[in-house]
Every structure is written in C-alpha cells, then in structure tokens.
C-alpha cells in the first residue's frame, strides 16, 4: 500500500530528517511499517502522525522501535484513536 511503500523507501535514506504524515488515515499496517523504518533509520528526528487512525497496538509498535532509534526529538500522535 501507499504508506508502506513511502515509509519503506526511507528505511536507509540518510538525507530526510523530518516526516509529515499528518492526516493520512494510517492504521496498524502503516504503523508497523513506520516502526520497522525507525529501527533502521537514525537520521529521522521528527515525525508528525497527527490525525490518523493509529490505535494502541500501532502506538506500542512505534514506541518499541524507539529502543533502536534514540534520535527522535518530536513524535506527534495528536488526534489518533488512542
């Protein structure tokens, strides 16, 4: 799907530091792709996931990925389904 392809393309990208995915109807599958990318990419420092449809399990998977990525300074989950 679209969000998975976009996020997967960032997995080893060393130029992009900020991702704005605000209002994209991201659900569990997209959250899992984001989590997987964060495990491999430590260049990304800011992710805006506001106004999506990420529920508790998706948030947990992204939070777990932060064990591998200590460089995130901004992570917005505003107005998700949590």
Residue 1: pLDDT over 80: no
Total count of residues recorded for the chain: 82
Residue 54: pLDDT over 90: yes
Residue 82: pLDDT band (50, 70, 90) is confident
Q: How far apart are CA 18 and CA 26, in angstroms?
A: 17
Q: Where are the alpha helices (DSSP H) in 1-82?
A: 2-9, 28-40, 56-65
- Judge contact between 44 and 14, C-beta under 8 A: no
**CB-CB neighbours of 36 under 10 Å:** 18
Range 5-11 average pLDDT: 94
Residue 7: pLDDT over 90: yes
Q: Higher-confidence residue: 82 or 34? A: 34
The reported pTM is: 0.94
């Amino acid at each position: 799907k679209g969000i998975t392809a976009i996020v997967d393309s960032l997995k080893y990208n060393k130029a992009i530091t900020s991702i704005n995915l605000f209002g994209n109807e991201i659900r569990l599958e997209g959250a899992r792709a984001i989590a997987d990318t964060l495990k491999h990419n430590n260049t990304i420092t800011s992710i805006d996931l506001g106004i999506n449809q990420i529920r508790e399990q998706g948030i947990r998977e992204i939070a777990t990925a932060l064990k591998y990525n200590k460089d995130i300074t901004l992570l917005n989950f505003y107005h998700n389904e949590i």
